[in-house]
């Protein structure tokens, strides 16, 4: 700090190389330097005084240290009485310790602000990409589905064995794309979907013209209503209504519903569904969460393995636990499991199979969707996993059946080698004076 304000202002604007002057020597050596007479010191850098319009007669420079590095130099100029001595060195060094801490804190703060801006920008870009993907998938997927239905009807005149396997394969892969679309839509559900409003407006304005055209071409006036209904199905907003649900009964219902989908797998499903108090959540996201967790568990468990599904009262609320005794997840993947579009398998061993197949290729968005649902509908989701000790690396491959595993002599060896537990806690439904929904 200078006594003259004009000099102080100019000093803030002056920059000089870190290897110049007395300050440069302090940075290089890391030791304090006393200059009793600047006119006799070969390291004195007079350019600074010339730019300041100031006369530095003597000075003391001490290093600013942060951890194991020097972040700057603190300089005292023109001692009013006498010359600088070791007492001054000790005093200025003590002050330098506090200044260095402030400088380092400012640097870290600036880096954090910069990192935050970058993360915010990347997050905004990610949202834009996901939102764009959600919109872009709707129309082509709907057209492909309709085209496949038309093609199926036209092929019915031919022997099924000549075309049915190919159509089923196409339908299966189209369903995978639709699953991605639904997951993206759930993730971006709180965004505004303008497509539906625009199409609905156009349809309202041109109903008469469409009726005339369709009657002329096909002689079928009611088809306009089918077009309107189709637009509603594809682009219309979905109403989400929360309701009271008995978790143990609903999990039982979902298990019975999806059981045929994994009937080709030899995985034992152990149920322990105890009575629980009602929870309050929309059915659609709860169905997706339950089905998704069970599907993930089965896909990560080799044949002859087991999956435990537990529903129980926890505190005042309800807990759902899905425990698979499968291959588990490596530690690095566990830290990023809820980030979305992040597969837990090595890309070199990734493969697209039928749903519920062992090691079926996941899309990576289902767990992100569950995490978003948990924040949106006020339930908690936790995960704990241990990678199978026999295949610790991401690139290691499980044979897919316990009886052919070279490391296991019986099922218990596999059960104790690894696995994953997902735990969901749902708070109790608020008292609203109405009965909870029950399931047969």
Choice between 141 and 127, residue whose per-residue pLDDT is larger = 141
Least confident among 60-64, 175-179, 426-430: 175-179
- Give Cα 38 to chain centroid, integer Å: 60
Give the count of alpha carbons within 13 A of 366, CB side only.
20
φ and ψ at residue 397, rounded to 5 degrees: -115, 130
List, as one string, the DSSP characters of 33-88: EEES-GGG-TT--THHHHHHT-----EEEEEEEETTEEEEEEEEE--SSS---HHH
Please say whether the beta carbons of 420 and 323 come within 8 A: yes
Overall average pLDDT of the 115-144 stretch: 71
What's the chain's average pLDDT? 80
Choice between 298 and 70, residue whose per-residue pLDDT is larger = 298
What's the pLDDT score for residue 113? 85
Q: How confident is the model at residue 361 (pLDDT cuts 50, 70, 90)?
A: low
Q: How confident is the model at residue 433 (pLDDT cuts 50, 70, 90)?
A: very low
Please say whether the beta carbons of 279 and 244 come within 8 A: yes
5-117 CATH pick, 3.40.1350.10, 3.40.50.1360, 2.10.77.10, 3.30.450.40: 3.30.450.40
Percent of the chain with pLDDT over 70: 74
What's the pLDDT score for residue 164? 86
Question: Which residues of 180-289 form beta strands (DSSP E)?
Answer: 242-246, 268-273, 278-282
What's the pLDDT score for residue 341? 52
Choice between 128 and 164, residue whose per-residue pLDDT is larger = 164
Q: Which fold has domain 242-426?
A: Heat Shock Protein 90 (3.30.565)
Tokens of residue 335, six digits: 């830290």
The pLDDT tens digits of the residues spanning 255-287 come to 999 999 999 999 999 999 999 999 999 999 999
Q: pTM here?
A: 0.54
What's the pLDDT score for residue 192? 43
What's the pLDDT score for residue 151? 87
φ and ψ at residue 226, rounded to 5 degrees: -70, -35
Q: What are the domain boundaries of the chain?
A: 5-117, 126-235, 242-426
- Considering 349-353, 356-360, 408-412, the range whose residues carry the highest mean pLDDT is 408-412
Looking at the predicted structure, is the pLDDT value of residue 394 above 70? yes
Rounded CA-CA distance 14/7 in Å is 11
């Amino acid at each position: 700090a200078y006594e003259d304000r004009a000099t102080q202002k100019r000093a803030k604007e002056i920059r000089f190389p870190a290897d110049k002057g007395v300050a440069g020597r302090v940075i290089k050596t890391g030791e304090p330097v006393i200059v009793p007479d600047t006119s006799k010191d070969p390291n004195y850098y007079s350019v600074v005084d010339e730019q300041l319009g100031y006369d530095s007669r003597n000075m003391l420079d001490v290093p600013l240290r942060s951890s194991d590095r020097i972040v700057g130099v603190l300089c005292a100029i023109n001692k009013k009485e006498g010359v600088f001595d070791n007492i001054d060195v000790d005093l200025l060094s003590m002050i330098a310790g506090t200044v260095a801490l402030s400088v380092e804190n400012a640097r870290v703060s600036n880096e954090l602000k910069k990192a935050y801006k970058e993360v915010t920008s990347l997050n905004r870009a990610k949202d834009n990409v996901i939102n764009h993907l959600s919109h872009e998938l709707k129309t082509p997927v709907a057209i492909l589905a309709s085209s496949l239905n038309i093609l199926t009807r036209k092929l019915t005149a031919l022997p099924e064995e000549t075309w049915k396997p190919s159509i089923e394969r196409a339908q299966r892969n189209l369903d995978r794309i639709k699953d991605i679309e639904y997951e993206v839509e759930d993730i971006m559900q709180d965004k505004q979907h303008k497509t539906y409003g625009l199409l609905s407006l156009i349809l309202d304005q041109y109903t008469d013209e469409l009726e005339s055209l369709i009657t002329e071409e096909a002689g079928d006036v009611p088809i306009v209503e089918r077009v309107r209904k189709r637009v509603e199905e594809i682009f219309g907003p979905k109403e989400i209504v929360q309701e009271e649900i008995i978790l143990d009964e609903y999990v039982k219902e979902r298990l019975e519903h999806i059981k045929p989908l994994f009937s080709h797998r030899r995985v034992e499903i152990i149920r322990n569904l105890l009575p629980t108090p009602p929870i309050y959540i929309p059915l659609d996201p709860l169905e997706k969460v339950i089905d998704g967790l069970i599907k993930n568990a089965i896909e990560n468990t080799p044949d002859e393995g087991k999956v435990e599904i537990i529903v129980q009262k926890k505190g005042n609320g309800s807990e759902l636990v899905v425990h698979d005794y499968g291959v588990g997840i490596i530690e690095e993947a566990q830290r990023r499991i809820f980030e979305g579009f992040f597969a837990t398998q090595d890309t070199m061993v990734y493969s697209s199979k039928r749903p519920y197949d062992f090691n079926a290729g996941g899309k990576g968005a289902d767990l992100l969707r569950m995490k978003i649902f948990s924040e949106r509908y006020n339930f908690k989701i936790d995960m704990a996993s241990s990678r199978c000790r026999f295949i610790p690396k991401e690139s290691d491959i499980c044979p897919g059946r316990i009886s052919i595993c070279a490391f296991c002599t019986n099922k218990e060896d596999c059960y104790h080698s690894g696995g994953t537990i997902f735990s969901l806690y749902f708070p109790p439904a608020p008292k609203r004076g109405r009965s909870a929904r029950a399931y047969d």
